[in-house]
Amino acid sequence: MTAGCIYVDIDDCLGQTARMFAKVFEQEHGRRVDLEEIESFDLGVSLGLSPESLDDFMKSVHRPEVLAEIQPMTGAVETLAAWVDRGYEVAVVTGRPPGTEEVSRQWLTERGVPHHSLTFLDKYSWSEDLFSGSRAISMEELSRRSFSLVVEDSAEVARRLASVLDAPVALLDRPWNRSSPRPEDELKGRIFRCRDWQDIGERFSRP
Ligand SMILES: [Mg+2]
């Protein structure tokens, strides 16, 4: 019997993915992007890329050698370890293309991220070729699972999860989830904006 199961997203929750994507963008497009400039979760909008260029860029940033180099988010491992100590299970749920499974598993192990499972969820309805041989589950399938808490950085995914799951959503404050209407104002009492992992750990010590 576990205390409960906690859903944790990888990109920009466990790892500093946007920082890595900005680095790749600078290498490929010769323009430096500050994290604060990424005001839309849609990188086509934030980086000013056409749909074709965005598709190429998404393929480029999902290469294993890029994903492997993503730096962990400060405090994530410690907060997860504290939950595991209290009897919780950690379910890592990512919207990455399922083809990234091997590098994602390796990253979680190498960075010492306490977790019990890794699930690929179709969060963003990626283009077909990014999702070839898809082993990703649908939102509908996920909604049949039970969670005590969700940790996400995407405002849109947070909204959807808050409406299909019976669990509070901790939204990690990032430049791309601050535009109005803010999800925590729309779904009061279901979505909670959190400054960082320390804030999440303190607010939800026993979710
Ligand atoms: Mg994310």
- Over residues 21-37, the pLDDT tens digits come to 999 999 999 999 999 99
Mean pLDDT rounded to a whole number for the chain? 94
User: How far is ligand 1, taken at its centre, from the CA of residue 151, in Å?
Assistant: 9
Task: Write the DSSP string, 98-166.
Answer: GGGHHHHHHHHHHTT---SEEEEB--S---TTTTTT--PBPHHHHTTS--SEEEE--HHHHHHHHHHSS
Q: What is the mean pLDDT of residues 80-109?
A: 96
CA dihedral over 107, 108, 111, 112, signed as positive or negative: negative
The residue with greater pLDDT, 98 or 14, is 14
User: How far is ligand 1, taken at its centre, from the CA of residue 17, in Å?
Assistant: 8
- CATH superfamily of the 4-16+70-203 domain: HAD superfamily/HAD-like (3.40.50.1000)
User: How far is ligand 1, taken at its centre, from the CA of residue 65, in Å?
Assistant: 19
Return the pLDDT at 130: 58
Return the pLDDT at 98: 87
User: How far is ligand 1, taken at its centre, from the CA of residue 9, in Å?
Assistant: 6
Please name the helix (run of DSSP H) or strand (run of DSSP E) that holds residue 28, with its range, or none: helix 17-29
User: How far is ligand 1, taken at its centre, from the CA of residue 12, in Å?
Assistant: 5
Give residue limits of the domains in the chain: 4-16+70-203, 18-67
